[in-house]
Amino acid sequence: MQTTLPDPISRYFAADKSDGAAVAQCFTETGRVTDEKQTYRGRDAIRKWREEATSQYTYTVEPFSVRTDGEAVIVTGHVSGNFPGSPVDLKYRFVLADGEIDSLEIAL
């Protein structure tokens, strides 16, 4: 299913298929990611988070729902791969600033 995403979020999901540096460039300098109860602040920490995740698991994400909640954009994506519990639908809560992602929270 095609889902129309705001440009910074579309760039994030495209970069997620690439590498950690590409993912980190989707964020503001002081951007933040919270995933699996851990928070990563700044582009370097975000790059390392993404590289660590992909060194352990291979996965794909297919966004299928998008909605707004105040200042946040909530994207639900179907995630499948070689990780425990696959497949799973995850919620990605993005907050944007100046055409970049300022924060991302990933949760069930």
Query: For residue range 31-89, what is the model confidence (pLDDT) as tens digits?
Result: 999 999 999 999 999 999 999 988 888 999 999 999 999 999 999 999 999 999 999 99
Distances (CA, A) of 58 to 1, 26, 79, 86, 95: 22, 21, 10, 11, 26
Tens of pLDDT, residue by residue over 1-19, are: 457 999 999 999 999 988 8
pTM of the complete model beyond 0.85: yes
What dihedral do alpha carbons 39, 43, 45, 47 form, nearest 10°? 110
Can you give the pLDDT at residue 2?
A: 59
* Structural contact between residues 94 and 75, judged by C-beta atoms closer than 8 angstroms: yes
User: What domains does the chain contain, in order, with CATH numbers?
Assistant: 7-107 (3.10.450.50)
